[in-house]
Amino acid sequence: MNKYGLHGKLTATQGNSDKLASILLEAAQLVSTAKGCRLYLVSKDRTQEDAVLVTEVWDSQEDHDQSLHVPGVRELISQAMPLLAGKPEKGQVLEILGGAGI
Amino acid sequence: MNKYGLHGKLTATQGNSDKLASILLEAAQLVSTAKGCRLYLVSKDRTQEDAVLVTEVWDSQEDHDQSLHVPGVRELISQAMPLLAGKPEKGQVLEILGGAGI
């Protein structure tokens, strides 16, 4: 079965993208302990100063969905929400065909 | 120094996305031998049937640029070009702040 990928953008309110990124980096450490987590990258797109990108790969969508129950993740989400400029867009759902690195 | 990431979409002419994907999967095997290649994923977005997505992470942009000289890569690119519906869009350039999995 092909792995489940997500590539999404979270837009922070002006001047808060670094704070948002640091919360997501903390989340990455927690989430990476979850079953089936193969990749959780936090990045910036320098053409979109207030945006933070998250790129994830999981063995399955179910593993991804379960990761929300990892202790501490919901707290981090609640810290991040007030920093967002509007409702988070649904990320691009990717069916990972293969490649190298994970 | 933060790693260099790319997330881009290649659109195939109708019915050729699987052929394009298999060429890119071959490229992934070659490119992953290049210095500084941390990730080279080929994936599909089921909402865009003719599109193939490539997600890459490199130690530096220079390492990425050098990878075009890996034996066999240019041949694969020349195989892929005729399958594309128009000029490939420049991918999203990502500054990888961190995370887990690479």
Which chain B residues are closer than 8 Å to A45 by Cβ? 92-95
Q: Which has the closest alpha carbon to B101: A86, A94, A43, A85?
A: A43
Residue A102: inside a domain: no
| DSSP type of residue A2 | -
Return the pLDDT at A102. 85
Residue B45 above 90 pLDDT?
yes
Within its chain, how far is the Cα of A49 from the centroid? Answer: 17
Residue B102: inside a domain: no
Q: What is the CATH number of the domain that holds A67?
A: 3.30.70.100
Residue A41: inside a domain: yes
Q: Distance between CA A97 and CA A28 in Å, rounded? A: 23
Cβ distance B102 to A38 less than 8 Å, yes or no, reads: no
The chain-wide mean pLDDT, for chain A, equals 95
Return the pLDDT at B1. 83
Which chain A residues are closer than 8 Å to B92 by Cβ? 45, 53
SS3 state of residue B84: strand
The chain-wide mean pLDDT, for chain B, equals 95
Residue B89 above 90 pLDDT?
no
Nearest chain B residue to A31 by CA: give it: B100
Other C-beta atoms closer than 10 Å to the C-beta of B89 total 10
Give the residue ranges of chain A where pLDDT is below 50: none
Residue A101: inside a domain: no
Tell me the percentage of chain B whose pLDDT exceeds 90.
91
Residues 6 or more apart in contact with residue A66 via CB below 8 angstroms = A34, A35, A36
Looking at the 3D structure of chain B, how many domains does it have?
Answer: 1
State the residue range of the domain holding B49. 3-96
Residue A47: inside a domain: yes
Return the pLDDT at B84. 97
Other C-beta atoms closer than 10 Å to the C-beta of B34 total 17
Judge contact between B94 and B56, C-beta under 8 A: no
Return the pLDDT at A94. 97
Nearest chain A residue to B101 by CA: give it: A39
